[in-house]
Amino acid sequence: MSETTSGSPSPGTPSREEIRVGVYVCHCGGNISDVVDVAKVVEEVGRHPSVEVSKHFPFLCSDPGQQLILEDIRRNGVNRVVVSACSPFLHETTFRKALQRAGLNPYLYEHVNVREQVSWVHKAKRESATEKAIRLTLAGVEKVARQDPLEAIRVQAEPHVVVIGAGIAGMRAAVSAARRGLRVTLIEKSDRTGGRLNELATLYPDNESARAVVDDLTQMVVGDGNIDLCLNSRLTMVDGYVGSFTVGFETRGPEGPILRQVRAGAIILATGFRHYEPFEGELGYGQSPDVMTLPEFNRALESTPPGDLPTFGGRRVRHVAFVHCVGSRQIEGVHRPQPDGRVNDYCSRVCCTAALHSIHRLMDKHPGVRVFDVYRDIRTYGRGHEDLYEKASKRGVLFFRHTEENQPTVELQASQNGHPPHRIRVRDVLTWNEEVEIPVDLVVLATGMMPSDIGGIVQTMKLPVGSDRFLQEVHPKLRPVEVANNGVFLAGTCQGPMDAVEAVAAGEAAAVKASILLSKGVIEMDPFVARVREERCDGCALCLNECEYRGALAMAESADGRKVARVNPALCAGCGACAAVCEPRAIEVAGWSLDQFDAMVDALVSR
């Protein structure tokens, strides 16, 4: 690893007296200036002793706006910059780069959000909005005045990706990464590729053969010299950090297990989902062979010979009911919780369309069946999915809608001389809450999706998990396939319920992210990570207990022989949990020191 210590002041740091802050307030084309009196902000902030220049401008992100800042750095001796504008997510990098172009350390910069945090939320209060903008900007000045120049953290990037799980998402990610020049190790625990698609005959919305999709993708995987497909394999260890992970795995072979290790710059998790398993007696499940889950029904349907009516388990079936939302959108106090005490309150998204797709397959193969569909809401959200719903209505499928308070019930009875033996009771919203009794031969439960059992991997890699137990991305819109652990990406249904099309798109996205990360051979990361002032560290190690990032903090020996905490900047996420418990203030996050926080708070409350 070639890395520079983050946060260490670069030579040439100006002394406190030489600090000259340039403050720039953006109008954002009226977005800010229609509410905030930008001239007043500039005037008030300009009185601060560290502020050299204070200006406002219609669009600071434009070329002339950036030029204004560059000129002040070059000609007017500005050596710290505060921009009060939109969200830092949009333009913080833009302005850091501008500083760099002017020859200034890009981290001597503070971005203050006076659009989302001021003008957009205090539209009708011009005066107090202006006051808030002044205080926030002053806090930015105080912070940047205490900012040391920082250097980005640089680590070598191994051009190799490990993908865990060879379902459709993992295979797509592997193929896409390999085509971008990366070597790929694709680790699959079972003896074949394709994951859950192997359970399906055809795929909605286009009736494509699932086998053909899996075979095509498997051919691409197997035929790509850059991909090492390792079936019957399971992860044994992960060590290291972004750019340089060491991944250990064990492959079961005819002559016993083989242990292997690879070095990889990034890891893509594509471990998929498992089906919700109804408990014994849930809507009659487990108490009669006439109640089955949708995956079980799909399998059974494959082996019925075509004809007017199907035969399941030796019994001819005429009336079939599909019940939606089994194991999804559960309600606390109504549904039985999972072993961890939580109910599955999320929508599994796929099951509505999957159930309708199966209904059509059933009716295509066995035109004599009558189908009933018992649902709370139909959520056929994808392109072409709604057609399946509409077509089902036109084919005579009878729909019954219940509310969340009135869940349907299934009453099982013995066979009654050719009459449908079982009853579904539902209070039907579509007939003004009439209590309807549906006689049926077969009940199909559209069961939801749950994450694969990957507790071991989650623990080994300290991965973030959402309240729904699926792996959690950093941000659903801004960083949708990244987790908080640097260099680890998500592909497919390990992240949440999605259909095959979405899983493939996620696999592709994860591969692109990984290849961008590794393409230059060196990874540059922001230096906002913990740093230890060893002379202050008393070796109490409380910080180690707080650290959630494996290996980011460890005890080491200082030059004078004391036990002190030491940070691995490549593993640290800069969360600050360690700094919060450090009484002697020996640990701080570079760019977010406690001194800076103190000064910002003072600035916010002192007017």
Ligand X SMILES: Cc1cc2nc3c(=O)[nH]c(=O)nc-3n(C[C@H](O)[C@H](O)[C@H](O)COP(=O)(O)OP(=O)(O)OC[C@H]3O[C@@H](n4cnc5c(N)ncnc54)[C@H](O)[C@@H]3O)c2cc1C
Residue choice 91, 115, 160, 196 for contact with ligand X (CB under 6 A): 196
C-beta of residue 265 within 8 angstroms of C-beta of residue 250: no
Interface with ligand X, residue 112, by CB under 6 A: no
Interface with ligand X, residue 278, by CB under 6 A: no
Part in contact with ligand X (CB under 6 A); list of ranges 117-125, 186-194, 408-416, 434-442 = 186-194
To ligand X, the closest distance from the beta carbon of 269 in angstroms equals 9
To ligand X, the closest distance from the beta carbon of 381 in angstroms equals 12
Interface with ligand X, residue 250, by CB under 6 A: no
The interface with ligand X within residues 509-568 (CB under 6 A) comprises none
Part in contact with ligand X (CB under 6 A); list of ranges 88-96, 198-206, 434-442, 546-554 = 198-206
Residue 601 is encoded by which pair of tokens? Answer: 């708070």
Interface with ligand X, residue 167, by CB under 6 A: yes
The interface with ligand X within residues 354-373 (CB under 6 A) comprises 354, 357
Interface with ligand X, residue 490, by CB under 6 A: no
C-beta of residue 569 within 8 angstroms of C-beta of residue 587: no
Residue choice 35, 98, 166, 509 for contact with ligand X (CB under 6 A): 166
Residue choice 28, 83, 157, 197 for contact with ligand X (CB under 6 A): 197
DSSP state of 118: I
The values of phi and psi at residue 495, to 5°, are: -95, -20
Interface with ligand X, residue 204, by CB under 6 A: yes
| Cβ-based burial of 365 (10 A; exposed 0-12, middle 13-18, buried ≥19) | middle
Interface with ligand X, residue 272, by CB under 6 A: yes
Interface with ligand X, residue 576, by CB under 6 A: no
The one-letter code for the residue type at 475 is H
Residues 248 and 237: their CA atoms lie apart, in Å, by: 5
Residue choice 45, 178, 187, 523 for contact with ligand X (CB under 6 A): 187
**Residues sharing a CB contact under 8 Å with residue 226, sequence separation 6 or more, in sequence order:** 178, 181, 182, 183, 184
Interface with ligand X, residue 203, by CB under 6 A: yes
Q: 45 or 457, CB closer to ligand X?
A: 457
Closest CA to 555 of 546, 564, 547: 564
Half-sphere exposure of 159 (CA within 13 A, CB side): 10
Query: Quick one: which H or E segment has residue 238?
Result: strand 233-241
Residue 347 is encoded by which pair of tokens? Answer: 């929508």
Residue choice 294, 397, 567, 599 for contact with ligand X (CB under 6 A): 294
Percent helix, strand, coil in the chain (nearest 5)?
A: 30, 25, 40
Residue choice 94, 117, 190, 251 for contact with ligand X (CB under 6 A): 190
Give the residues across from 52 on adjacent strands.
none
Around Cβ 200, how many Cβ atoms within 10 Å?
23
- Per-residue binding string, ligand X, 445-474, x by CB under 6 A, is ----x--x-x--x-----------------
Q: 54 or 452, CB closer to ligand X?
A: 452
Interface with ligand X, residue 496, by CB under 6 A: no
To ligand X, the closest distance from the beta carbon of 272 in angstroms equals 2
Residues 126 and 38: their CA atoms lie apart, in Å, by: 11
Closest CA to 285 of 111, 443, 423: 443
Beta strand ranges found along 507-586 (DSSP E): 522-525, 530-532, 553-557, 563-567
Interface with ligand X, residue 503, by CB under 6 A: yes
| Footprint of ligand X (CB under 6 A) | 164-170, 187-190, 195-197, 200, 203-204, 234-235, 270-273, 275, 294-295, 350, 354, 357, 449, 452, 454, 457, 492-493, 498-501, 503
